[in-house]
């Protein structure tokens, strides 16, 4: 897309937002229902477009341009399509977050203030090469009343194109304005998007550290996401061996490339099963790196940094220093230490006696996940629909002016109603 | 301050935050109480330092380096100091926002998720030359468990220095770590601060448009604030003349340089008192600019852009196009039009039948105001203590691993408790 076209797209998306921001739940759910129907109707066409992507990707894999993990994720089969449709059906059932009244307050007689939930605006999403992302993300955007410019992984281009057609067709039938959901294709498009802070209100990069870092370095638009997931488990002095073993193995091996997978294991110096634990990890094909030079490496593989610490204080200090504020867990039977850890670890998810792999929008019961954020503003941790919303204040008066309050003649009541 | 010193300060502030983030309400309120006491004890010294600032400012005023409005705001008299102390006493009474449980949920048996409020981290605040700012801002930072680097207007340097001493002395006595609240002085310090996204989590610029724009252009750190306040009133077809006159005059003249003051008046073409309204505004010394070339000018003076519109649709379109998303009000007796306006104007405060001047943290009953934000993420509109907070997730397990949930062997309950 030429640069001026991206600006035009962003302007049109912004205009579309001024309409969708107030769409009622049934209109939005109607659009989602129509997407479901069209996904079912166009199943064969979707699979054949996806096959094109897989064919092209075979070449990229052979040339070493993509790795096996990316290649394996490209395939959209019957079961993946069904879970996409199931996800949409679940999303339709979720409560509409928009126009919810957070509170109302009588400022004074005849002067009522309401705080209500609104969508944010135009969201730019840059997502990884997975064939289910486009539908998942655009449906969250639709449900929340936002509009979007989406850029998918180039390896999924044909799958994304057919999905784009389906979504836009459903939106038009449901009465949405043109350009509510826009699909762009090239890295240059992303570069241009990042400049359009006048029209784009939030950027969500999903993907590798380098992508997220690049985006954070190159835009004034707020960015929601996480550059890395350096997650820790601290094993306190007295812990049952079997529990520790199970949790550490789960956190490291159940899905090693996930951002909430364990990267560094901190063990209390007096823990009596240190050697036995190391043996158990080795038996589970986990490579242990003791006292590495760099404690901020995300291995995304069955590799683990390992450090013996003096106790809970050193563990907390280590995590706050080398962690990425993502997810950290303490294994302990000492209630005081657990509370200390929960209070003083400055991460988006802090856990006790369980696997770090639980930090996830679906597991937390948000119904849908936009991504996981290590930001300290707006949205932190696993982000559901709520992260795509903000609020505005509505003040209903009866011809009130400020002057008598400024002079002290009148006083505010400030009473919640 | 030399550049390497600013980095050191930011690092130390970040270390201090790792302690203050979990301080209990009584410790924080103790610090605020001690600040109150010291303000009273050191009254004479404060006034004499403030006099130094006024003396220096006289020269700046004579040279035209500052304007009369800034000069007039510099003086700290008995009454201003008393309202500062009163503000602190009110803040002490406010509920502590930190560690509040937003909700808790049973993910499954023995697996409890809590969402709790936390402070953000290190906040950089750049504030205007008003002698009461430093105390107001640092007390909000203390109450919310954050730490800060504060840069005040150079015209207040002596007043800020004595206040800085008082605050730091009170903090040490109350058991706060060193460097919880840091004061810096030069524009170069600000320039360096903006680079320190590793240690500073939020920047709040208070002051003119140019300052806010400069900061937004030059940092990757999230910025909370508003660059401009282009506020509108739309006068609908049938409105009582007296009410319209009173509200428009209040919104424009009660404090013309406030960001929530009226800048553009849109009047329905069939409104029957157009000429009478113009006359009334002229009588109140308001200069009317009909159909100006630029509708996005913030006059901050008794000057008003004036436009006749075809009706509510044109009014809403105009506001969403030329407004700054700050505060806009409709004056109407037509309930349908009021609702349309409330729903479709994309501003942080949207009002009906009252003055735009109400959009303010104190008037909204927040007890304290950090600033007014036109952002679409994190905090929007008048921002109270809540805008200085975020949340984290605490997950309390009983040796739970993810594997059985991934295989479908176990199901989540996701039950709010």
pLDDT in tens, B106-128: 999 999 999 999 999 999 999 88
Over residues A51-64, the pLDDT tens digits come to 999 999 999 999 98
Is A358 close to B246, i.e. CB distance below 8 A?
no
Segment A302-326 mean pLDDT: 97
CATH 3.40.605.10 domain position(s) in chain B: 3-224+370-392
Residue A11 has pLDDT above 70, yes or no: yes
- Nearest-Å Rg of the Cα atoms of chain A is 24
Q: What is the pLDDT of residue B408?
A: 92
Q: Taking CB atoms and an 8 Å cut-off, how many pairs form between chains A and B?
A: 229
Distance of CA B272 to the CA centre of its chain: 39
Segment A122-142 mean pLDDT: 93
For chain A, what percent of residues have pLDDT higher than 70?
99
Residue A1 has pLDDT above 80, yes or no: no
- Residue where the block lists tokens 């989602």: A32
Segment B208-218 mean pLDDT: 88
Residue B247 has pLDDT above 60, yes or no: yes
Over residues A226-247, the pLDDT tens digits come to 888 999 999 999 999 999 999 9
First CA to last CA across chain B, in angstroms? 51
pLDDT interval class at B192 (50, 70, 90): very high
Q: How many CA atoms lie within 13 A of A365 on its CB side?
A: 19
Is B254 close to A403, i.e. CB distance below 8 A?
yes
Closest-approach residue (CA) in chain B for A249: B401
CATH 3.40.309.10 domain position(s) in chain A: 231-358
Residue A2 has pLDDT above 60, yes or no: no
**Chain A neighbors of B392, CB-CB under 8 A:** 346-350, 380-381
Closest-approach residue (CA) in chain A for B415: A365
Is A390 close to B377, i.e. CB distance below 8 A?
yes
Q: Which of B415, B389, B405, B386 is nearest to B21 (CA)?
A: B389
Listed in order, strand segments (DSSP E) in A335-388 are 349-354, 371-373, 381-383
Q: Which of A247, A378, A400 sits opposite B377 (nearest CB)?
A: A378
Q: What is the pLDDT of residue A27?
A: 98
pLDDT interval class at B207 (50, 70, 90): confident
**Alpha-carbon distance B319 to nearest alpha carbon in chain A (angstroms):** 11
Q: Which of A338, A365, A375 sits opposite B105 (nearest CB)?
A: A365
Q: What is the pLDDT of residue A233?
A: 98
Query: ipTM of the predicted structure?
Result: 0.95
Q: What is the pLDDT of residue B264?
A: 98
**Alpha-carbon distance A52 to nearest alpha carbon in chain B (angstroms):** 30
Burial class (CB in 10 A: 0-12, 13-18, 19+), B51: middle
Over residues B362-400, the pLDDT tens digits come to 999 998 788 899 999 999 999 999 999 999 999 999 999
For chain B, what percent of residues have pLDDT higher than 70?
99
Residue B161 has pLDDT above 90, yes or no: yes
> Mean pLDDT score of chain B, rounded to an integer?
95
> Mean pLDDT score of chain A, rounded to an integer?
95
Architecture of the structural domain at A3-224+372-392: 3-Layer(aba) Sandwich (3.40)
Say how far apart CA A40 and CA A19 lie, in whole Å.
29
Closest-approach residue (CA) in chain A for B338: A396
Say how far apart CA A324 and CA A317 lie, in whole Å.
13
Pairing of strands B381-383, B371-373: antiparallel
Segment A124-130 mean pLDDT: 90
Distance of CA B10 to the CA centre of its chain: 22
**Chain B neighbors of A376, CB-CB under 8 A:** 120-121, 201-202, 390
B256, two tokens: 């013309």
Segment B292-299 mean pLDDT: 93
pLDDT interval class at A415 (50, 70, 90): very high
The answer regarding whether domain B231-358 maps to CATH 3.40.50.920 reads no
Q: What is the pLDDT of residue B256?
A: 92
Q: Which pTM value belongs to this model?
A: 0.95
Closest-approach residue (CA) in chain B for A20: B344
**Alpha-carbon distance B84 to nearest alpha carbon in chain A (angstroms):** 17
CATH 3.40.605.10 domain position(s) in chain A: 3-224+372-392
pLDDT interval class at A3 (50, 70, 90): low
Over residues B4-23, the pLDDT tens digits come to 789 999 999 999 999 999 99
Q: What is the pLDDT of residue B3?
A: 57
Residue A331 has pLDDT above 60, yes or no: yes
Over residues A261-308, the pLDDT tens digits come to 999 999 999 999 999 999 999 999 999 999 999 999 999 899 999 999
Q: What is the pLDDT of residue B367?
A: 83
**Alpha-carbon distance A389 to nearest alpha carbon in chain B (angstroms):** 8
Burial class (CB in 10 A: 0-12, 13-18, 19+), B255: middle
Segment A324-348 mean pLDDT: 97
Pairing of strands A415-416, A101-108: antiparallel
pLDDT interval class at A339 (50, 70, 90): very high
Phi, psi of A414 (to 5 degrees): 50, 60
Architecture of the structural domain at B3-224+370-392: 3-Layer(aba) Sandwich (3.40)
**Alpha-carbon distance B329 to nearest alpha carbon in chain A (angstroms):** 9
């Amino acid at each position: 897309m030429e640069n001026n076209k991206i600006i035009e797209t962003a302007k049109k998306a912004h205009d579309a937002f001024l309409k969708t921001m107030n769409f009622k739940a049934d209109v939005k759910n109607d659009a989602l229902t129509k997407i479901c129907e069209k996904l079912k109707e166009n199943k064969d066409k979707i699979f054949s477009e996806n096959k094109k992507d897989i064919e092209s990707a075979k070449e990229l894999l052979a040339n070493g341009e993509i790795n096996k993990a990316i290649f394996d994720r490209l395939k959209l089969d019957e079961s993946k399509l069904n879970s996409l449709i199931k996800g949409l059906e679940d999303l339709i059932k979720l409560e509409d977050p928009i126009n919810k009244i957070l509170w109302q307050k009588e400022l004074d007689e005849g002067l009522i203030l309401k705080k209500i939930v609104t969508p944010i605006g135009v969201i730019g999403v840059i997502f990884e090469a997975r064939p289910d992302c486009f539908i998942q993300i655009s449906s969250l955007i639709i449900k929340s009343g936002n509009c979007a410019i989406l850029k998918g992984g180039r390896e999924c281009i044909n799958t994304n194109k057919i999905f784009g057609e389906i979504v836009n067709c459903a939106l038009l039938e449901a009465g949405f304005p043109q350009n509510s959901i826009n699909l762009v294709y090239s890295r240059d498009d992303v570069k241009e998007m990042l400049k359009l802070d006048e029209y784009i209100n939030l950027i969500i990069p999903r993907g590798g550290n380098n992508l997220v870092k690049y985006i954070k370095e190159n835009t004034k638009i707020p960015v929601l996401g996480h550059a890395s997931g350096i997650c820790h488990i601290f094993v306190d002095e007295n812990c049952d061996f079997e529990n520790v073993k199970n949790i550490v193995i789960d956190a490291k091996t159940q899905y090693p490339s996930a951002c909430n997978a364990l990267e560094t294991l901190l063990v209390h110096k007096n823990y009596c099963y240190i050697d036995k634990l190391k043996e158990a990890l080795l038996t589970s094909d986990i490579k242990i790196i003791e006292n590495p030079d760099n404690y901020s490496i995300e291995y995304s593989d069955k590799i683990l940094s390992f450090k013996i610490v003096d106790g809970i204080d050193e563990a907390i200090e280590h995590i706050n220093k080398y962690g990425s504020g993502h997810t950290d867990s303490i294994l302990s039977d000492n209630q005081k230490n657990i509370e200390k850890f929960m209070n003083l670890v400055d991460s988006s998810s802090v856990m006790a006696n369980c696997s770090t792999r639980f930090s996830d929008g679906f597991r937390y019961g948000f119904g849908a996940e936009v991504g996981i954020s290590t930001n300290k503003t707006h949205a932190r941790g696993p982000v559901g629909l709520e992260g795509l919303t903000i609020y505005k204040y509505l003040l209903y008066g009866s011809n009130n002016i400020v002057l008598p309050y400024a002079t002290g003649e009148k006083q505010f009541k400030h009473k919640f109603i």
